[in-house]
């Protein structure tokens, strides 16, 4: 899709974080192998990852949550340009305030890093699988000595605690992948 390369260029020029190529490759492979039909995404930005995921043959519905009004508007336009507005619904809302009884096969967490545990706890009952992106946070989770800013240090500690909690919880089958900026794949047992 031509729009995906345009969005990559735009994100790079505007310093907007989007999913890394190898991470998206992992996700697309997962979607295809597991024939995922429905996805709840936390963190839309400009719509890049939602549009990518919507190209998987099995995907029929994506609800993507974005708290930033400007990004939500840009994502809506981009999704329309990609011809994916019947598959992808952009919801401008804080993820923790989103109310729905809808079951999703996959939860893709790529929003506010400090809220990863809260996102997981809030939505795990309504999903089968969870993919968490950026769990390494630029290598700072593995080597916290590189963090000198108090706010960043607190964020990194939250991410490390979340990673530890999920990987040690016997209610889930969890696996860490050193792909991109770190991925956690979680499924219910």
Region of 47 please: left (phi>0), alpha (psi -120 to 50) or beta: left
Angle between helices 2-14 and 69-81 (to 10 degrees): 160
Over residues 55-75, the pLDDT tens digits come to: 999 999 999 999 999 999 999
In this prediction, residue 93 carries a pLDDT of: 96
CATH number for region 2-188:
3.40.50.150
Strand ranges inside 14-156, DSSP E = 38-42, 61-66, 88-92, 104-109, 127-133
List pLDDT tens digits, range 87-141: 999 999 999 999 999 999 999 999 989 999 999 999 999 999 999 999 988 777 7
Strand locations in the chain (E): 38-42, 61-66, 88-92, 104-109, 127-133, 172-177, 183-188
CA atoms within 13 A on the CB side of 124: 16
What pLDDT band is residue 152 in, cutting at 50, 70 and 90? Answer: confident
Q: What is the pLDDT of residue 8?
A: 94
């Amino acid at each position: 899709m031509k729009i995906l390369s345009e969005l990559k260029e735009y994100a790079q020029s505007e310093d907007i974080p989007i999913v890394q190529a190898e991470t998206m490759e992992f996700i697309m492979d997962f979607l295809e192998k597991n024939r995922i039909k429905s996805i709840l995404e936390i963190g839309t930005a400009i719509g890049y990852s939602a549009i990518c995921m919507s190209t998987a043959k099995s995907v029929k519905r994506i609800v993507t949550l974005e708290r930033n009004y400007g990004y939500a508007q840009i994502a809506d336009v981009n999704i329309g340009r990609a011809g994916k507005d019947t598959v992808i619904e952009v919801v401008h809302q804080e993820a923790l305030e989103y109310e729905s009884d809808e079951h999703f096969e996959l939860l893709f967490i790529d929003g506010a890093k400090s809220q990863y545990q809260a996102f997981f706890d809030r939505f795990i009952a309504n999903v089968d699988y969870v993919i968490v992106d950026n769990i390494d946070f630029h290598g700072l989770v593995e080597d916290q000595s590189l963090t000198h800013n108090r706010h960043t240090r607190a964020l990194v500690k939250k991410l490390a605690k979340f990673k530890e909690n999920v990987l040690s919880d016997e209610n889930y089958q969890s696996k860490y992948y050193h792909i991109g900026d770190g991925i956690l794949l979680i499924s219910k047992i």
